[in-house]
Structure 1
Amino acid sequence: MYKIQANKAVKVDEVTFSELQMLESDIEELLRSNIDMVCDEEESMLIVGRQVRNAQHGRSDLTAVDNNGNIVLIEIKRDRKDIESRKEAFEFQAIRYAASYAKIVDSEDLVSKIYAPYIEKYRSEFEHQSLTSSELGNRKLNEFLQVNGAENNFNKNQKVVLVASEFDEQTLSAVAWLNRNGVNMSCYKLIPFKIHDEVYINVEKLLPLADYEDYYVNFLEKSSSSIKKTGKKLSRQRLPKIDSLLEWGVVQAGDLIIAKDRDEEATLLSNGNVEVNGVEQSMQKWLKDIYGWSSVQTYVFAIHKQTGKSLSKIREEYMDKLAEEI
């Protein structure tokens, strides 16, 4: 990372979480409140557990459910030293925890074993105080699954997310091999920097590796044409974002954005953020506050008021039009 100072680039060296006197539990809490740091705008996620103890007395760091109905296990280590000092491999520990989650039979089972205790622990963060933790957990989880169309796919698959400031080669090699053999596991690197008294964190996805075609974002016409011919969908890395929609002119600054199936609306700004009651914020944060989820599929749940279409649909139609013109 470089800081521009008097037209000169001054390198800012990364620090360690240890130097910042941050514990693993601090990183865990950071991600619990900001899980969108390790998932993108094309994914919804609901945190349902923290420090969940399994039958073998192991504790998984964070547990979530994504918009496909998968149970997601998020395991955290501060740095490479913490990974290498463990007797049990980082990725194997996560797989063992994920295997125990495969035994959860339905959403009620998840609520009773994991989500209700989580709600009880963080009760002040939830609305409907008159409901029991189990009642509230069932309501919120079932709503999340229903709105995302995932009721019939609940826990058919499990997903693992590994997070650390640095990974050792053995872990990365093992995860790459697991990915090639159908295990849904990813690695995210959180790199802290300190400038004066402020801490910045750069998030880098290491695995799974992006396909080389993912980097050809500017060649949208070529990608769209190949989609028509092959029937393949664009990967998340290649899907254009709100800045592209504004550049194309399919949406414009000043347009109104409505939260899907809700009454709340916001004004789209030229930088891709939205303004609500005079306050500028990211579209992701606005939607998170409305739905009460940990992360929201921005382009699915943001509805363009002038057309009545989701940003995802507007994006899809524009890309289809480009493909037809080629």
Structure 2
Amino acid sequence: MYSITNKKAAKVEATTFSQLGMNENDIEEILRCSIDMLCDDEESLLIVGRQVKNEKNGRSDLTAVDNNGNIVLIEIKRDKKDIENRKEAFEFQAIRYAASYAKVESPDELVKLVYAPYIEKYRNEYEIGELTSYELGIRKLNEFLDANDVTKFNEKQRIILAAGEYDEQTLSAVAWLNKNNVDMNCFQLTPYKINNECYINAEKILPVSGYEDYYVNLMDKAKYVSKKTKDITRRSLPKISDMLEWGVVKPGDVIKAKDHNAEAILLKNGNVSVIPTEMSIGSADVRKIPMQTAVATEMSMQTWLKSVYGWSSIQTYNFAVLKETGETLSKIREKYMEKLSSENTESE
């Protein structure tokens, strides 16, 4: 990381969580509240558990459900020293915890064992009203599964490892497990301290992306269509900045949250100016609505949609709808990419 002053770059040295006085619980809480640090705009996650005890009294750090209905185990270590000081290897500890989740056969069972106790622990974060923790949990989980069109629950389990630093043995083991179809990701969390503020860079280091994910066709219009649309990885999917450049969406467009009344105005930087839920933009001239007022507040589309749905992370493009056409951004993106692919094929 570099800071720029008067067009001159100065390297900002990374620090460590230990030097910042942060322990594993601190990192765990950061990720619990902001798990989208380990996701992207193409994935939805709902955190359902923290420090869940299994039948052998082992405690898993964070538990989530993804948009495919799979249970996701998130294990956290502060640094390489913490990993090396454990009697059991980091990755195998995670596998053992994940194996216990393989026995969960239904949303009801997950809520009873994991989600309801989690809601009870963090009651102040939910509008429970007259509902019990179980009733709210089953409602929220079913809403999440229904919204993501999940038909099969917990067919497989995923593992995410997050640490400030890894030892070579862990990385070697995870690479081998990936090669043998075990769904395990490693994220490296690198902290920086700048002007007494802490910044964290979250980088996915395993599994490594294939070289083809980085190849870009020299023809601009074929930039994202060198492979069939269905084969394009999440990493290489065009983002909102690309869609604005294409002109398929434009600043001032009204974006709706899918199946919700919440509306926002798309800005030229890809963020949105959010309108309170009780208001409707309707036929108003959006250019006359200030970007930062008591009426509207600028934020990322991910942050806005997370607040609307109450999820930990959300597939932005699947749940953002262009009000003018009623199509999701995902559908608009897909149609434009198919058009480019067709044009590219015809020109060959």
Q: What secondary structure, in the 3-state scheme, does the structure 2 residue paired with 1:176 have?
A: helix
Q: How many residues matched?
A: 322
Corresponding residue for residue 222 of structure 2: 221
Rounded to whole Å, the distance in 2 between the matches of 1:169 and 1:205 is 16
Corresponding residue for residue 76 of structure 2: 76
Corresponding residue for residue 29 of structure 1: 29
Note the alpha carbon deviations across 1:282-314, whole angstroms, 9 max, x for none.
000000000000001000000011111000000
Q: What secondary structure, in the 3-state scheme, does the structure 2 residue paired with 1:224 have?
A: coil
Question: Is residue 216–residue 238 contact of structure 1 (8 Å, CA) maintained in 2?
Answer: no
What TM-score do you get using the length of structure 1 for normalisation?
0.97
Note the alpha carbon deviations across 1:74-116, whole angstroms, 9 max, x for none.
0000001101111100000000000000011111110000000
From the superposition, tell whether residues 315 and 51 of structure 1 become closer, same or farther in structure 2 (CA, over 3 Å): same
Question: Aligned-pair RMSD on alpha carbons?
Answer: 1.2
Rounded to whole Å, the distance in 2 between the matches of 1:22 and 1:122 is 22
Corresponding residue for residue 290 of structure 1: 308
Corresponding residue for residue 279 of structure 2: none
Corresponding residue for residue 196 of structure 2: 197
From the superposition, tell whether residues 253 and 95 of structure 1 become closer, same or farther in structure 2 (CA, over 3 Å): same
Q: Counterparts in 2 of 1:1-326, with a 5 A limit?
A: 1-150=1-150, 152-217=151-216, 221=222, 223-227=224-228, 232-276=230-274, 277-326=295-344
Rounded to whole Å, the distance in 1 between the matches of 2:26 and 2:190 is 14
Q: What secondary structure, in the 3-state scheme, does the structure 2 residue paired with 1:73 have?
A: strand
Q: What secondary structure, in the 3-state scheme, does the structure 1 residue paired with 2:227 have?
A: helix
1:129 deviates by: 2.0
1:225 deviates by: 4.8
Rounded to whole Å, the distance in 2 between the matches of 1:217 and 1:263 is 39
From the superposition, tell whether residues 218 and 201 of structure 1 become closer, same or farther in structure 2 (CA, over 3 Å): farther
Question: Is residue 217–residue 238 contact of structure 1 (8 Å, CA) maintained in 2?
Answer: no
Rounded to whole Å, the distance in 2 between the matches of 1:96 and 1:218 is 43
Note the alpha carbon deviations across 1:139-183, whole angstroms, 9 max, x for none.
000110111011x22110000000001111111111111111111
Note the alpha carbon deviations across 1:21-44, whole angstroms, 9 max, x for none.
001000000000000000111000
After the TM superposition, which segments of 4 or more aligned residues of structure 1 sit over 6 Å from their partners? none
Identity of aligned residues (%): 64
What TM-score do you get using the length of structure 2 for normalisation?
0.90
Q: What secondary structure, in the 3-state scheme, does the structure 1 residue paired with 2:228 have?
A: helix
Rounded to whole Å, the distance in 1 between the matches of 2:260 and 2:163 is 37
Question: Is residue 83–residue 168 contact of structure 1 (8 Å, CA) maintained in 2?
Answer: yes
Rounded to whole Å, the distance in 2 between the matches of 1:237 and 1:153 is 25
Rounded to whole Å, the distance in 2 between the matches of 1:226 and 1:117 is 45
1:278 deviates by: 2.0
1:217 deviates by: 5.0
Instruction: Provide structure 2 residue ranges, at least 5 long, that are not aligned to the other structure.
Output: 275-294
Question: Is residue 45–residue 294 contact of structure 1 (8 Å, CA) maintained in 2?
Answer: yes
